Amino acid sequence: ALTRVALEVAGAELLGIEHAPSNERSAAVPRRLGFAAGPPSTMTCHDSGEQIPSVSWRATRETLASEPLASAPRPRIFDAAGAELEWPA
């Protein structure tokens, strides 16, 4: 749901997830959400006792057109005053 809000409502062009290479449970999250494997990361993380490049995943508006993101329900969204907002067309 937050991926849809970021890309469709907040106007983000790219969402990224980074994790340690050895953390398969963390890798399962973006994979299950439909994120695409990103380019080699310039960020590092602490993994197996050393600082190494993290694994990156990316989602864009084009990614939203693919499953499973394409069929994810849109959550209700509200402004700071609590008024419900319409989703962009």
Is position 89 within any domain?
no
pLDDT averaged over the chain?
90
Is position 70 within any domain?
yes
Q: pTM of the predicted model, to two decimals?
A: 0.77
Structural domain harbouring 21: 2-77
φ, ψ (nearest 5 deg) of residue 72? -65, 135
Enter the DSSP assignment of 41. Answer: P
Is position 17 within any domain?
yes
pLDDT, tens digit, for every residue of 44-57? 999 888 999 999 99
Is position 83 within any domain?
no
Burial annotation 6-45 (CB, 10 A radius, 16+ → b, else e): ebeeeeeeebebbbbeeeeebbeebeebbbeebeebeeeb
Q: How many domains does the chain have?
A: 1
Is position 27 within any domain?
yes
Q: What per-residue confidence (pLDDT) applies to 64?
A: 78
What's the CATH number where 63 sits? 3.40.630.30
